[in-house]
Amino acid sequence: MAGNAKQLKGNTRWALGLNATLVYVFFYAPIALLILFSFSDDPLVGRWGGFTLDWYRAFGENEEVQSALGVSIRVAIMSTVVSVVLGTMAALALERYRFRGNKFFDALLYLPVIIPDVTMAVMMLLFFTIARNAASTIFGVDVSKGVWSVTVSHIAFSISFVSIVVRARIAGMSEKLEEAAQDLYASRWQAFRYVTLPLILPGIIGGGLLALTLSLDDVVITQFVAGPGSTTLPVYVFGLIRRGVSPLINAVSVVMLAASVLLVLLSLVAQRARGGDVT
C-alpha cells in the first residue's frame, strides 16, 4: 500500500533513480539510434549524413524486399489462423476433458517451447526431406520446400504457445458456466459460441498475436526449411547483413518494429472491446 511505502533517503533514492535511467537507456537507446539512422543520408551504417527518406523509398521499391515482406505476411497469417484453431482445440481438450494419456499429451504439447530453435530447424529439415522423398516414391510427385513448408514449421511451434496462453484463460473459467448454459437450453455448440468463446477470447487473441509475432520474427527455423521464393523478411535482412550492411536494413527494421507495436496496440484494443452479446 502506498501509505506503507518507505520514504527513500538521499543516496538510496539517487542510486535507484540512476539504475532505472540506465535500464531505460539500455532498452531504448538502440531503438532510438535505429530509427535515427534509418533517416541518414549516408550509405555507411552509423554515420550521419543529413536527413533523407531514400531508404524508405528503396524499401518500397526494392522488389526483393517487397516479395520477402509478402511471403512473411502470408506465412504469418496462415500459420496464425491454423495454430490458433488447433492450439485452442488442444487447450480445450487438455483442460476440460480427462482421458488416457492426458499428462503425456500435455508434456508433448509443450516440448516445442523448450526445444532449441536450431534443433527444431534440423528436425523440420529432416522431416521435409523425408516427406519429399516419400512423396516422390509413393505418389510420384515432387513437393519441394517453399512457402508451405515454412508455414507448416511455423504452425508446429506456434500451436504450443497458443495453447499455453489459451489454457491459462480456460483454467480461470469455471466449468459451471458451460453447464449453466447447457442447463439453459444451449446445445454444446451454442454453449461454446455464447459462453466459452467470449470468455476465452482474450486468451485466443493474445495467443494469436504471439503466434503472429513469432512467425514474423523467426529466422533460424525459416532459414532451414525455406525453399526458393520463400524468403521471409527477417531471413532477407539476415542475408543482407552478410552481403554488406546498408541503412536499408535500418528502414526495414523500423517498419518491422512499427508493425510489432501496432500489433500490441491492436491486441489491447481488441481485449478492451470484447463483448459477449447473444445475437
Partner 1 sequence: MGDEMQDQAGGPMTAAVDIQSVTKRFGDVVAVDNVDLEIADGEFFAMLGPSGCGKTTTLRMIAGLEFPTEGSLKIFGEEVGTLPPNLRPVNTVFQNYALFPHMNVLDNVSFGLRMQGKDKRESAHAAQEMLELVQLGGMAKRKPDQLSGGQQQRVALARALVNKPKVLLLDEPLGALDLKLRQDMQNELKSLQRELGVSFVFVTHDQEEALTMSDRIAVMHDGKLLQVGTAEELYDQPVNRFVADFIGQTNLIDATVFDADMIVLANGTKIRAPNPYPAGDKVAMSLRPESISIGHVDEVPDEFRSTSLTGTVSDVIYLGHSHVYTVNVDWMPLEVRTNATPTSIKHEPGSEVAIWWDRRSDWVVPDEGHGA
Binding piece for partner 1, criterion CB under 8 A, among 56-64, 142-150, 188-196, 255-263: 188-196
DSSP 196: I
Which residue from 47, 57, 96, 274 is in contact with partner 1, where contact means CB under 8 A? 274
Nearest approach, Cβ of 164 to partner 1 (angstroms)? 23
Residue 195 interacting with partner 1 (CB under 8 A): yes
Q: How many residues bind partner 1 (CB under 8 A)?
A: 24
Q: Quick one: how far is CA 188 from the chain centroid?
A: 31
- Residue in 208, 203, 201, 207 with CA at minimum distance from that of residue 80: 208
Amino acid present at 266? L
**For residues 134 and 177, which CB has a smaller minimum distance to partner 1 in the complex?**
177
Residue 198 interacting with partner 1 (CB under 8 A): yes
Amino acid present at 92? L
Task: Give the relative orientation of helices 248-272 and 197-217 as an angle to the nearest 10 degrees.
Answer: 180
Residue 181 interacting with partner 1 (CB under 8 A): yes
**For residues 206 and 247, which CB has a smaller minimum distance to partner 1 in the complex?**
206
Q: Where are the beta strands (DSSP E) in 174-246?
A: none
**For residues 63 and 277, which CB has a smaller minimum distance to partner 1 in the complex?**
277
**For residues 156 and 195, which CB has a smaller minimum distance to partner 1 in the complex?**
195
Amino acid present at 74? R
Nearest approach, Cβ of 209 to partner 1 (angstroms)? 20
Residue 75 interacting with partner 1 (CB under 8 A): no
Take residue 212 and report the three cell numbers written for it: 503472429
E strand or H helix at 273: none
The residue with cell 446445445 is 187
Q: Cα angle at 79 between 277 and 123, to 5 degrees?
A: 140
Residues that bind partner 1 (CB under 8 A): 174, 176-177, 179-188, 190, 194-195, 198-199, 274-279
